[in-house]
Structure formats: structure tokens, C-alpha cells
Amino acid sequence: MPATAVLRQPSRTLVITAAAVPLALAVLADDVRVRRQLHAARRDPLSGLPGRDDLTACGARLLRTGHRDRVYVMLLDGNGFKTINDTYGHAAGDAVIAATGRRLATWTTRRQAMAARLGGDEFALAAVLPATTALSDITALREHLQQPFTHDGQTLHLRMSVGIARATDLPGEDITRLLHAADTAMYKIKTGTETFPYLATHDDAHTSTVNGRRAGRPGTHLPAA
């Protein structure tokens, strides 16, 4: 190879590399943008919270971290949400859901926890909590969520039924079963069968379902598809 060609070779490589850097940065930026879009798409636009899939993934991780004795799963269901919608309109109902989402998100930022909106006025939580203060922490959260909301000059009240499943009480059960147990516990509180705070039992985790739903849920009266 002529000496001039040898001298030019490093220079050409440098030019090619320099040209590739902006392209690589553009690809990286595009990848970050897509990831953010996908992350945002998984979040409920009204509450700002993730959905069931992200919650179950988070709960499964918490159960694998060695903190099982401190993992708590909660199902939260609003009491009086339909009345708010019927009395003040759907915009008021949307405001309640949004405010509840913000309150739950704030609570989780200070803990190893995730909150999700399952649909309607139903939410769920998976959290690692100190065994000595867990029930008082959950009680304080429930009271905080029940603080009045203000919308368009109206003061709105939403009560919360909260069911709790403590992983240490249900050895060997996965996050799906814990969610089912918390759901059953919540329904017992909502109907007055048990009083808050009630911890789900093995029987609660294994209650029968109708069309894949806990008996008493909307839609359980419909024939299975």
C-alpha cells in the first residue's frame, strides 16, 4: 500500500467514527423515547397509575427478594363512587379517581411499593412494610384516602373498603393468589362480614370464582364466554 494511502487510512477511520456517533446517539434517543411512550401507554390516563400487569410483576419481585415476611397486598374499593357520579356528574367522579391516584402515588414513593388502578374505583397495592407498623401504616393510608375531595366548589366524600393479604400468613402462595385473598377480604369488609383491618386467611385465598371473578363482583351473573 502506498505511504500516502497508509497515512490517509487513520484519518478515514476517524471520519467514519465521527459520523457514526450522531447516528448512534439518535438511535439511543429514539429508543429512550419509545420506552417512555410504552411506559406511559401502560399507565391509566386518569389516575396516572400502572395497571394490573405491572402490579403483579412488582408483587412477584417483592416475594422473591427475601422480604416475604413483610410483603402486604391490598385491594381498595370505593364506597359511594356511583353516588358521586350520579349526583355531581362524571367529571366529579373522574376528579375523585385522579385525586386517589395522586394520593396513592405519593404514599408509594416513600416505600418499597407499587399502586395500581384495576378499573372503576378499584385499586390495588403491593408493599414491603415493617411488621411492627404495617397495620397502622395501612390504617393511616385508608384515613388519608377518605379525606374529602373538592371539585367545582363541591366537597366530595369517598369511603374506602380495604382488604389485606399478608404474605407470611399465606406461605407458598403467588401474587395472583394473594390478590385474590385481598379481594375476598375487601369484599367481607365491604359487606360487613368482617371489620377493618382484617387479614385474609387461607380460605379467602382459595374462595371459588364465577367466570374468573370473585362471587359478588359485577358480571358474575353472566354466562361464561
Q: What is the pLDDT of residues 88-99, one digit of tens each?
A: 998 999 999 999
**Minimal CA–CA distance to 204: which of 169, 174, 180, 168?**
180
What nine digits make up the cell of 21? 456517533
Give helix 175-190 / helix 52-64 axis angle, nearest 10°.
110
pTM: 0.76
Distance of CA 112 to the CA centre of its chain: 12
Taking a C-beta distance cutoff of 8 angstroms, is the pair 104, 170 a contact?
no
Residues in Cβ contact with 101 at an 8 Å cutoff, skipping those fewer than 6 apart: 44, 46, 47, 48, 49, 115, 117, 123
The CB density around residue 221, as the number of other CB atoms within 10 Å, is 10
What nine digits make up the cell of 24? 448512534
Report the first-to-last Cα separation within the chain, whole angstroms: 75
* Span of 4-18, 111-125, 160-174, 194-208 with lowest mean pLDDT: 4-18
Q: Mean per-residue pLDDT for 168-196?
A: 95
User: Cα separation of 116 and 105, whole Å?
Assistant: 9
121 catalytic, yes or no?
Answer: yes
Given the residues 121, 174, 183, 203, the one annotated as active site: 121
Q: What is the pLDDT of residues 27-66, one digit of tens each?
A: 554 443 434 433 444 789 999 999 999 999 999 999 998 7
